[in-house]
């Protein structure tokens, strides 16, 4: 089957893939990027890659000093928020729409989980977040639900205390998105196949761009 043209009614709709650690976000983003040209014959997206790792490397953060130092953790999350803002702005100068591996809400979630509500208030009052929130509210946001078998530390990311703590991130993402009035959809843990997860996203994207 050839690519589906949606050009006549094409209204670029950004896609954000968010969720807890080890939920297959980057793998899904890569699958979406590689399958786009085979499925659609319209303007391709620019992929906004995860920014956290580059921020960690540039500024010399480690997982251990972040968990033991709230001020340093807040500094990191604020830098990640700024980097996400800059990456999205740059990408949107090159294409009318993006697929983003994570989002501006991710560092706010980590600030909430590792520091507290005061840190969340500081970050959500920033101009960076206000622009990012506005864009996300007009986009398709997918929360990847936790899959117990997938929790593996890579020595870089902030890790949850245990599986229960990890699964609480699902609730935290939902609460924070709802509080920010950002519509979202869950990619359920029962959908484990990468092909099925990509199809799940593309079916909803096609509906949104043709509406």
Instruction: Please report, for residues 26, 90, 163, 167, 194, the alpha-carbon distance to residue 189 in angstroms, rounded to integers and kept in the order given.
Output: 16, 33, 14, 11, 12
Q: Which of 6-10, 35-39, 41-45 has the lowest mean pLDDT?
A: 6-10
pLDDT at 8 over 70: no
Report residue 19 as tokens: 């969720």
The set of residues, in sequence order, having a beta carbon less than 8 Å from that of 160 and lying 6+ positions away, is 20, 21, 151, 166, 168, 169
pLDDT bracket for residue 69 (50, 70, 90): confident
- Under 8 Å between Cβ of 173 and 105: yes
**Tens digit of each residue's pLDDT (9 = 90 or more) over 137-189:** 999 999 998 776 555 555 545 555 556 766 788 889 999 999 999 999 999 98
pLDDT for 149 equals 58
pLDDT for 111 equals 92
pLDDT at 6 over 60: no
pLDDT for 209 equals 86
Instruction: State how far the Cα of 125 lies from the Cα of 64, in Å rounded to an integer.
Output: 27
Domains of the chain and any CATH numbers: 11-203 (3.40.50.300)
Share of the chain above pLDDT 70, in %: 84
pLDDT for 169 equals 82
- Under 8 Å between Cβ of 102 and 150: no
Write out the DSSP string of 109-156.
Answer: HHHHHHT-HHHHHHHHTSHHHHHHHHHHHTSEEEEE---GGG----SS
What is Dmax (Cα atoms) for the chain? 54
More confident residue, 22 or 84: 84
Q: Which of 5-14, 53-62, 114-123 has the lowest mean pLDDT?
A: 5-14
């Amino acid at each position: 089957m050839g690519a589906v043209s949606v050009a006549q009614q094409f209204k670029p709709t950004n896609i954000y893939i968010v969720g807890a650690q080890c939920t297959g976000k980057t793998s899904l983003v890569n699958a979406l990027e590689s399958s786009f040209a085979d499925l659609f014959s319209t303007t391709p997206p620019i992929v906004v890659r995860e920014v956290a790792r580059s921020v960690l490397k540039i500024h010399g953060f480690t997982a251990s000093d972040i968990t033991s130092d709230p001020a340093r953790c807040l500094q990191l999350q604020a830098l990640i928020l700024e980097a996400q803002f800059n990456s999205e702005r740059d990408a949107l100068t090159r294409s009318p729409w993006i697929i983003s591996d994570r989002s501006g809400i991710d560092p706010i979630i980590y600030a909430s989980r590792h520091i507290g509500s005061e840190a969340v208030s500081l970050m959500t009052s920033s101009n960076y977040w206000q622009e990012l929130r506005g864009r996300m509210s007009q986009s398709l946001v997918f929360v990847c639900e936790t899959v117990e078998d997938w929790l593996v530390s890579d020595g870089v990311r902030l890790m949850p205390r245990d599986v229960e703590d990890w699964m609480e991130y699902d609730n935290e993402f939902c609460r924070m998105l709802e509080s920010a009035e950002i519509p979202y959809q869950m990619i359920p843990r029962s959908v484990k196949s990468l092909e099925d997860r990509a199809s799940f996203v593309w079916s909803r994207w096609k509906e949104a761009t043709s509406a």
